Chain A
Amino acid sequence: MSNNNKYLIFLGCAVPYRVSSYEISARKVLAKLGVELVEMPEFNCCGLPLDPVSHEMMLILAARNLAIAEQTGLNILTLCPGCAGTLKKVNKTLKEDKVLREKINTHLKESGLEFKGTTTTKHIMQVLIEDVGIDKIKKAVVKPLTMLQVAEHVGCHLLRPKSVIGFDDPEDPQTLKTLIEATGATCLDYIDETECCGAPSVGVSDKIALQLARDKLNHVKMVDAQALITICAFCHIMFDTNELRIEKMFSETYGIPILHYPQLLGLALGLTPEELAFNELRVNTSKLLKQVNEGAK
């Protein structure tokens, strides 16, 4: 299976549940860059949310998705780093551990499925950098965003644990920066760039979650970034949905728009903010968009 411009899209749960702006912008951008998406039939939650309580259940749920994908002969593209990480990890584990594979396959067999280990999963970032390629992206840019200075938040699951993911470097990740700079924008460095957004702690300890997000926003503010760029539904919710709440709770002011990377790239590719679902973002983006339009710093 080596079709590099046709993928099964695995939406996962969080994207359709809460972050359609990510899905809308990602689909538009991928179409523009010639990546064809096929809807993945009858998929289920990747399994990650249940790993803390039942590793077994996680393995079976993930393996079911992989087995369905294998039947289509296509590789998987995900928007959520958590889904990508889980599917990669389970694929690797089950390929390497014959005993476990047989055990999981006994479960899948109940529904006529079998895991073989013939599919590859990639997050959209990985598809953009490895399969579309930075040159093609640069060539497709019609409106260079040279007026923008932004910061990136790559999050945890796209890169960690390193031994399983084997993509980029979790201690000094470059992929998202490279992709941001391909749009013409400058990507700023800031303190604790690779720190967790806090999202996994929501519901267990909201206070800790919001403190983590506040820290990140403070650091992004320190370097005067005009926007923070994310590539994960959960990270995006953590910053965009909660920015106003954090401002209130800790008496801070940020006003930093939180964009999905495909929204930033989409602007550079000549798509309009409406086409890229900017209207669904919580933090006001009008100042940012004005700067993009006027081309001024």
Chain B
Amino acid sequence: MTENATTTTSKEPIKASEFDPKFKYELIKMHGGEKLLKCYQCGTCTSDCPIARYSDDYRPRTILRMANLGLKDRVLKSNTLWLCAACYTCTDRCPQDVEVASVIRVLRNLAAENGCVPQVFKDQASCILESGYAYKIPDLRIKKRETTGLPPLPKGNPESIRKILKGVSFMKHVEGSKGETNEQQ
């Protein structure tokens, strides 16, 4: 996915220089990350996470611990971060109300900000810019609606979408938007 990608369970010894003691304060200022510091590492999130059940690496509790410790690069460059299914089970069950899924989303947003963006998100964003829809809906399907008695598919308004997304920092990753960059495929 990205160069130098890691997993959050990497066994590489942690060097003192890897800790960023201010990282957690950066996170709690972000919408959704506010309650990170309340995590007391009980493990409810991991034990109820459907992804952790099948992944050897993905552990929401570990991700939260690493975030609290300030292991910024390890977390943000980790491939495992992208495994979360956003099912919100952890958010509903965390006894500390940490809003775990939102903290993970905040981390992913930061990873994206730093250039780690899985291709699928770039593709969906450019589809939205082009048509309003997150997928390229084939013409055949649009035509078929008529024969199956469905009303015509409402047309998107790409011009309006472009206007309202002006100045959004993620746009630098989106093909077809102004200031297009192609870093980090």
Contact = CB atoms under 8 A, between A and B. Distances in A.
Interface residues of B, number: 62
A116 interface: no
B160 A53 contact: no
Given A43-B154, A55-B105, A108 B164 contact: yes
Interface string B64-105: 000000000000000000111111110110000001010001
Contacts, number: 174
B134 interface: yes
B54 A211 contact: yes
B148 A44 contact: no
Given A13-B133, A24-B148, A108-B164, A52 B86 contact: yes
A17 B50 CA distance: 27
Contacts of B5: none
A200 B109 contact: no
Interface stretch (A57-65, A172-180, A250-258, A264-272): A57-65
Contacts of B120: 203-204
Contact of A204 (B118, B148, B161): B118
A110 B166 contact: yes
A107 B133 contact: no
Contacts of B148: 20, 24, 277
Closest 8 A-B residue pairs measured CB to CB?
A160-B88, A54-B170, A200-B85, A44-B132, A53-B112, A111-B160, A110-B163, A156-B87
6 contacts: A39-B151, A41-B154, A53-B108, A54-B109, A110-B164, A111-B160
Interface of A: 11, 13-14, 16-18, 20, 23-24, 27, 39-45, 49-57, 60-61, 64, 100, 107-108, 110-111, 113, 156-157, 160-162, 170-171, 195-196, 198-201, 203-205, 207-208, 211-212, 277
